[in-house]
């Protein structure tokens, strides 16, 4: 996985920030989904870990996060407005396309491992 690589946001604009899931889903019609499985053993705060990963890919448009507790950890749903933002995240985590949920322009899935989680946690946040 290429989780250490960071993308610099252009100097003319800051990275976009996270918005509320419900607001994002209602407002954004052409949306993209990345689902990350985060085992309990590798992160005490999967949402913060995934948010750090996303922020370090410097999204150009809005995104939202939602979670689902699963038997061995947490499933983090990441919704994006911009397909380029999805491509950057997919490349960073080596996610695979898998269209399980309806209503998405694209959908990718990945299970984070300990090495990836450690690399994400060790990467300072780009401002």
What percent of the chain has pLDDT above 90? 68
Q: What is the pLDDT of residue 114?
A: 94
Q: What is the pLDDT of residue 91?
A: 95
pLDDT, tens digit, 9 for 90 and up, residues 75-95: 999 999 999 999 999 999 999
Question: Which own/partner pairs from 64-72 qualify as long-range (CB within 8 Å, at least 24 positions apart)?
Answer: 64/18, 64/19, 64/20, 64/21, 64/23, 64/24, 64/25, 65/18, 65/21, 66/21, 70/37, 72/39, 72/40, 72/41
DSSP letter at 40 equals: G
Angle, helices 46-56/114-122, rounded to nearest 10 degrees: 60
Q: Tell me if 1 sits within 8 A of 118, measured CB to CB.
A: no
pLDDT, tens digit, 9 for 90 and up, residues 15-52: 556 789 999 988 888 999 999 999 999 999 999 999 99
Quote the mean pLDDT of the chain: 86
């Amino acid at each position: 996985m290429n989780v250490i690589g960071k993308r610099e946001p252009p100097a003319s604009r800051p990275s976009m920030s996270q918005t509320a899931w419900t607001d994002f889903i209602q407002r954004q019609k052409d949306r993209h989904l990345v689902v990350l499985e985060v085992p309990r053993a590798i992160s005490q705060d999967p949402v913060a870990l995934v948010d750090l990963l996303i922020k370090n890919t410097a999204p150009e448009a809005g995104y939202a996060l939602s979670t689902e507790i699963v038997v061995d950890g947490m499933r983090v749903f990441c919704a994006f407005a911009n397909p380029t933002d999805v491509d950057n995240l997919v490349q960073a985590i080596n996610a695979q396309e898998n269209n399980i949920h309806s209503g998405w322009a694209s959908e990718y899935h990945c299970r984070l491992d300990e090495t990836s989680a450690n690399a994400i946690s060790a990467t300072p946040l780009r401002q």
